[in-house]
Amino acid sequence: MNVQETLAELVAIDSVSSRSNAALVDYLARRSEAIGLAFTRLPYTDESGVEKLNLIALAGVKFSDQPAQRPQVELALVGHTDTVPYDPNWSEALQLTERDGKLYGRGACDTKAFIAAALTATEAVIKTGKPLAKPLALVFTADEEIGLVGAKRLADARAISARYAIVGEPTSLRPMRAGKGYCLAEITIKGREAHSAYPALGASAVFGAARLIARVEGIAADLRSDEHPAFDPSHTTLNVGLVHGGTAKNVVPGECRFTLEWRPIPGQGPERLLELLAEAIAEETQRDPDFDCTVNAARADEGFETAPDSTIVCVLEELTGNDAGTVAFGTEAAQLTALGAEAVVMGPGDIRVAHRTGEFVPVAELEACVGILRSAIERLCA
């Protein structure tokens, strides 16, 4: 089966994050088994009670009987099995359709194209009959699109250790050696409601939130001095994206909530901003003992960085003909880094067409990716 046929079969299996990815994992397990890979399913139940699975398939090494002995591989090819939802009116969503050298379908770009290429490349290497001197792993994860949940589980379980990892995401085949983190907190300010004609009887949560938001803007300015020149913008960025407070124009508001999102440069832990925020809250509380604020830190995903002279970076720069860059969107590379890997994000398709109706991958990039991954396996594992 060629890479396009494989991609068509992957796209035909609906694996939107809200559903179980069991059918897709079964398909990938069958394909792995057919070429003699050892594999294991790592199931878990998501927040809605739906069964999700990560899958690890190995070439050149077996799983140990002792669970504490995790497999060690030279190279891991990592792709997430889930996709974002699709418009039910998009007739091609589950039916891969070729037009003008482009393949359309949900997940065609993000990130089933990479999975199809990784399977095809691995099959080609195995079919040469030459055993791998150093082991290879195919790692297929669940729930990437809703917060890297599957990859975080693999990292927490120390399920595998890898020296190098290629994390498949649409980068138009450019190797990306560093990425910013992604963090999110919801902040709630409590006040006391009162008739707005008698504000002294209450305490305005909106005025409290406004003071804190002004301080957040100051924190954003302070963080600009911590620069990482490989990124544009070169510093941690902050956004207060949603503010919600009050109930009526003539009521002193009793509650105000806002979201604070930040994307820390690698090397700056997610806790750095939380510490600065805690200092600001402590000062506000000292000035006004009624200032009542809680911070719910919902996401704290660190960035990642692999050195520009790492073997995996150099190999992929050579094989793709593209200089390494950096990404501003979140990926599973940080989890692979936690599993010991020098990680690079690379895959066919353009992130700008992902996550929208009409998502596609160019045929030429899909096919080139097979060759790149095959050469990478041969260079690193032979």
Least Å from the CB of residue 195 to Zn ion: 51
Q: Is 81 in the site for Zn ion (CB under 5 A)?
A: no
Q: Applying CB under 5 A, which part among 63-71, 102-110, 196-204, 277-285 lies near Zn ion?
A: 102-110
Structure tokens at 340: 């010991």
Cα–Cα distance, 15 to 25 (Å, whole number): 10
Give the nearer residue to Zn ion in terms of CB position, either 169 or 365. 169
Least Å from the CB of residue 144 to Zn ion: 6
Q: Applying CB under 5 A, which part among 14-22, 65-73, 157-165, 168-176 lies near Zn ion?
A: 168-176
Encoded amino acid at 134, one letter: K
Phi/psi of residue 340, nearest 5 degrees:
100, -5
Give the nearer residue to Zn ion in terms of CB position, either 110 or 301. 110
∠ Cα 348 350 352 (to 5°): 160
Structure tokens at 147: 């917060």
Q: Is 301 in the site for Zn ion (CB under 5 A)?
A: no
Least Å from the CB of residue 112 to Zn ion: 10
∠ Cα 366 369 373 (to 5°): 150
CA dihedral 346, 81, 58, 312 (to 10 degrees): 10
Q: Tell me which residues are annotated as active site.
A: 82, 144
Cα–Cα distance, 254 to 207 (Å, whole number): 10
Give the nearer residue to Zn ion in terms of CB position, either 169 or 301. 169
Number of amino acids touching Zn ion (CB under 5 A): 3
Q: Applying CB under 5 A, which part among 167-175, 306-314, 337-345, 356-364 lies near Zn ion?
A: 167-175
Cis? peptide before 264, omega within 30° of 0: no
Least Å from the CB of residue 183 to Zn ion: 19
- Reduced to 3 states (helix: H, G, I; strand: E, B; else coil), residue 197 is coil
Among 74, 82, 110, 143, binds Zn ion (CB under 5 A): 110
Place of tokens 């590379």: 333
Cα–Cα distance, 235 to 267 (Å, whole number): 11
Q: Is 111 in the site for Zn ion (CB under 5 A)?
A: yes
Give the nearer residue to Zn ion in terms of CB position, either 135 or 168. 168
Give the nearer residue to Zn ion in terms of CB position, either 169 or 255. 169
Give the nearer residue to Zn ion in terms of CB position, either 109 or 363. 109
Least Å from the CB of residue 243 to Zn ion: 29
Q: Applying CB under 5 A, which part among 83-91, 108-116, 173-181, 364-372 lies near Zn ion?
A: 108-116
Give the nearer residue to Zn ion in terms of CB position, either 110 or 342. 110
Least Å from the CB of residue 80 to Zn ion: 6
Distances (CA, A) of 277 to 52, 84, 211: 35, 32, 12
Place of tokens 């073997």: 311
- Residue 139's closest CA among 42, 237, 231? 42
Least Å from the CB of residue 114 to Zn ion: 9
* Residue 185, beta-bridge partner list: 260, 297
Query: If 0-12 CB within 10 Å is exposed, 13-18 middle and 19+ buried, where does residue 322 land?
Result: middle
Q: Applying CB under 5 A, which part among 2-10, 165-173, 201-209, 307-315 lies near Zn ion?
A: 165-173
- Residue 96's closest CA among 13, 15, 1? 13
Encoded amino acid at 187, one letter: I
All residues at 6 or more sequence positions from 41 whose CB lies less than 8 Å from its CB, including other chains: 25, 29, 53, 54, 55
Residues that bind Zn ion (CB under 5 A): 110-111, 169
